[in-house]
A and B are shown apart, each in its own frame.
Chain A
Amino acid sequence: TQLLEQSPQFLSIQEGENLTVYCNSSSVFSSLQWYRQEPGEGPVLLVTVVTGGEVKKLKRLTFQFGDARKDSSLHITAAQPGDTGLYLCAGTLRSGGYNKLIFGAGTRLAVHP
């Protein structure tokens, strides 16, 4: 069982549509990051959220951290083919004296022209 559950696993939409992906856990995180990963490449950091209820915007992407810091969402407005990729959420847990980053399995997004 994944500590961080991401949904949906796959999403295939047309250019111009809006979408939301979710990241849920029963654990409380001190911070949460969203990454985007292209095939054959490493994850690229998009945003970090720290405070419960925090909302951050990055152009057409809106990230929200849940009030209890257990969950997060990513909303994309007017998706474009360039948004295609694997979206990973990762939460920070304190473990053994160090801040451990736990990843979800990701949401694979395909945006068709």
Chain B
Amino acid sequence: DTGVSQDPRHKITKRGQNVTFRCDPISEHNRLYWYRQTLGQGPEFLTYFQNEAQLEKSRLLSDRFSAERPKGSFSTLEIQRTEQGDSAMYLCASSVGGYNEQFFGPGTRLTVL
């Protein structure tokens, strides 16, 4: 399968715990994006990487959130001291430019108890 993959698919954690999600983009895609989606809404942009450089961060991304793409390939999104409001689907997408066609992974569903 050469699509975008995300791990884990589901994560249940207790409030205050740290969680880390992984995204493996399509191999030739140099652009990688993280989004958050809550029930009844479309995906909301969180952050963007071009190769290993993090070029854009949304105001939605509080200090508790950090993302990395150390070698310009896979990326991780860490949430520290999780809160119930962090419960959402976290989506990763990748693209190679052009008309900004982004290809999404299956998402990680986070539930904070």
Is there contact, CB below 8 Å, between A105 and B42?
yes
Instruction: Give the size range of B's interface with the partner.
Output: 20 to 34
Is there contact, CB below 8 Å, between B109 and A40?
yes
Is B91 on the interface with A (CB-CB < 8 A)?
yes
User: Which of A43, A88, A98 sits near B56, CB closer than 8 Å?
Assistant: A98
Known contacts: A96-B56, A98-B48. The answer to whether A33 contacts B104 by CB under 8 A is no
Is B51 on the interface with A (CB-CB < 8 A)?
no
Q: How far is the CB of B60 from chain A (nearest CB, A)?
A: 13
Q: Which candidate, B13-21, B70-78, B94-102, is the interface stretch facing chain A? A: B94-102
Is there contact, CB below 8 Å, between B101 and A45?
yes
Is there contact, CB below 8 Å, between B99 and A31?
yes
The complex places the Cα of A99 from the Cα of B50 at a distance, in Å, of: 11
Is there contact, CB below 8 Å, between B102 and A106?
no
Write out the residue numbers on chain A whose beta carbons fall within 8 Å of the beta carbon of B44: 103
Is B4 on the interface with A (CB-CB < 8 A)?
yes
User: What residue in chain A is nearest B104 (Cβ atoms)?
Assistant: A42
Q: Which residues of B contact A (CB under 8 A)?
A: 4, 6, 33, 40-45, 48, 50, 55-56, 91, 93, 99-107, 109
18 further interface pairs, Cβ-Cβ under 8 Å (given A42-B6, A42-B106, A101-B100): A4-B42, A31-B99, A33-B100, A35-B104, A40-B106, A42-B4, A42-B93, A42-B107, A43-B91, A44-B104, A88-B42, A95-B56, A97-B55, A98-B55, A98-B56, A101-B33, A101-B102, A106-B42
